[in-house]
Amino acid sequence: MSRDDTLAEYRILRTRCGVPTAEHVPSGILLHSRVDPLAEAREIAAEYTGSCADSTVLLGGGLGYLAEALAESGGTSHQVFVIEPDAALLQLARTCRGDAPYFSSPRIHRIVATAPQMAAARMSGIVSTAQLVVAPYFERIAAQLPSPLTGLVQMLRAERVSRVVYDTMLNEHCRVNHERLSALPGVRGIRFQAGMKVVVAGAGPSLDECVQTLRRHRSRFVLVAVSGAVPPLRAAGIDPDWVVALEGREAVVNDLADLPRGIPTVVFESTHPEITRAAQGPLFCGASLETRGGTTLIPALDFALQSSAEDVILIGADLGYGDRLYASGARRETTGESVLSNVPPKFLAMRAALESLLERKVSGSQKVFHVLRAAPVLRGTRRMQPMELDAALAPLLTAKETV
């Protein structure tokens, strides 16, 4: 192009070195340098060359310069996955630079995702050790013009902070647990009793509406509880059949401090070593279960789906909707509140990961019911009101009882 041009919200501009850059017209923010976008991209990519990651997730592709620089600086096998929220911008980049490595390199993968949940779902299939990079222009636009995609930046920021805080701790847990878990039986061959529904209990506030019904029908279903749900269940006089303990923080030790002897627990290399060292019941290795997504509900639901062909009922899975984050009695910090219009970004990622799991694992006639009064249920589930749980768990009447 020999002149400035406009497509959607972006305007193509020429730079001093002759290659195109672009301006986001509503904000006036440049996607790349007006002087030398190539040099700018190499400078940004150099900040990440010390990483040992073999792949990069880049949020915001722009015209492709940074993706190319990351692929080049990462080595001949380094893969770059570009999450591009704006399909029009991707088309503009193709118009301007269709013959560039951004479109021809087999190591650069462009993924269009127009909403935070969609982006998180796309990212769930990318190796968990990939480094995360947010294009500087995208972060500036998201900060200046709040939109649903602002949540995507917040989500990635939260994940980056989480890795800084937890990676060292989890690496140590993995080192300690590796030998212990290698001697444990796995969960792949576990089969729950045929004909019994399965309840997966999370620690969300909707659990409060269900505990009395669960206690009334306790002998009629298999109960798989995440570690955070154990204290509220125990306070209501309910013991789970299985506990899934994924967390590496010390909170999981407090969750299971009063767990009765003999209840089996599914553990992972990331689980706090005190659980794998001093459990009061049998331990099983959950290495075959899905764990990515930031919530123990993911391996708990995966365990239920692979261990039974019966319907699964998911309770306590509010994922940030409502006026509280946790059920009464949960041993978690509850200072933060959420409302329907402002779900914390971490819960968006959790929802996306659970929906991805449901899409891959639910098959045949098996159904998953999500017990929630009004908030959006997970895609791939059917809504069940709390008051409907009683009828769902009650056994069918026998011929004698109906007379």
**Is 48 strand, coil or helix?**
coil
pLDDT of residue 320: 84
Average of pLDDT values for 229-236? 96
Residue 267: DSSP 8-state: E
Mean of the pLDDT values across residues 64-77? Answer: 93
pLDDT exceeds cutoff 50 at 3: no
Whether 402 has a pLDDT exceeding 70, the answer reads no
- Name the nearest CA neighbour of 244 among 260, 258, 255: 255
Output the pLDDT for position 390. Answer: 93
Judged against a pLDDT cut of 90, whether residue 342 lies above it is answered with no
Q: In this predicted model, which residue has the larger pLDDT, 135 or 396?
A: 135
Cβ 276 vs Cβ 180: under 8 Å = yes
Burial class, 295, CB count within 10 angstroms (exposed 0-12 / middle 13-18 / buried 19+)? buried
Average pLDDT of the segment spanning 7-22: 87
Rounded to an integer, what distance in angstroms lies between the CA atom of residue 71 and that of residue 65?
A: 10
pLDDT of 307 strictly over 90 = yes
Q: Cβ neighbours of residue 361 under 8 Å, at least 6 residues apart?
A: 302, 305, 306
Q: Where in the chain is the domain with CATH 3.40.50.150?
A: 42-161
To which H or E segment does residue 133 belong? strand 131-134
- Tens digits of per-residue pLDDT, 181-214? 999 999 999 999 998 999 999 999 999 999 999 9
Give the percent of the chain with pLDDT over 90. 53
| Predicted local distance difference test score (pLDDT) of residue 75 | 86
Q: Is the domain defined by 172-402 classed in CATH 3.90.1480? A: yes
Query: Residue 338: what pLDDT?
Result: 45
| pTM (predicted TM-score) | 0.69
Would you state the structure tokens that stand for residue 315, as one six-digit string? 């309770």
pLDDT the model gives residue 123: 67
Q: Cα(16)–Cα(36) distance, rounded to whole angstroms?
A: 7
Fold of 42-161: Rossmann fold (3.40.50)
pLDDT digits (tens, 9 = 90+) for 320-335: 887 788 888 887 765 4
Strand partners, 149: none
CA–CA distances in Å: residue 17 to residues 3, 35, 295:
15, 6, 48
397, pLDDT greater than 50: no
Per DSSP, helices labelled H in 205-250 are 211-216, 230-235
- Residue 323 neighbours by CB distance under 10 Å: 9
Using the predicted structure, report yes or no on whether residue 384 has a pLDDT greater than 80: yes
The average pLDDT across 249-263 equals 91
Q: Which candidate, 96, 108, 98, 103, places its Cα nearest to that of 31? A: 96
Q: Is the pLDDT of residue 296 over 90?
A: yes
Q: How many angstroms separate the CA atoms of 82 and 134, rounded?
A: 10
- Is 239 in a helix, a strand, or coil? coil
pLDDT one-digit tens code per residue, 81-122: 998 888 889 999 999 999 999 999 999 999 888 766 677 666
Starting at the edge strand found earlier in the chain, the sheet holding 79-84 runs 108-112, 79-84, 55-59, 131-134
CA count, 13 A, side-chain hemisphere, 237: 8
The mean per-residue pLDDT over the stretch 65-83 comes to 93
The residues, ordered by sequence, that sit 6+ positions from 371 with a Cβ below 8 Å of its Cβ are 206, 209, 210, 313, 314, 315, 317, 384, 385, 386, 389
Which segments of the chain belong to CATH 3.90.1480?
Answer: 172-402
Q: Please, what is the average pLDDT of the chain?
A: 85
- Whether 44 has a pLDDT exceeding 80, the answer reads yes
For residue 373, pLDDT beyond 60: yes
Q: pLDDT confidence of 339, banded at 50, 70, 90?
A: very low
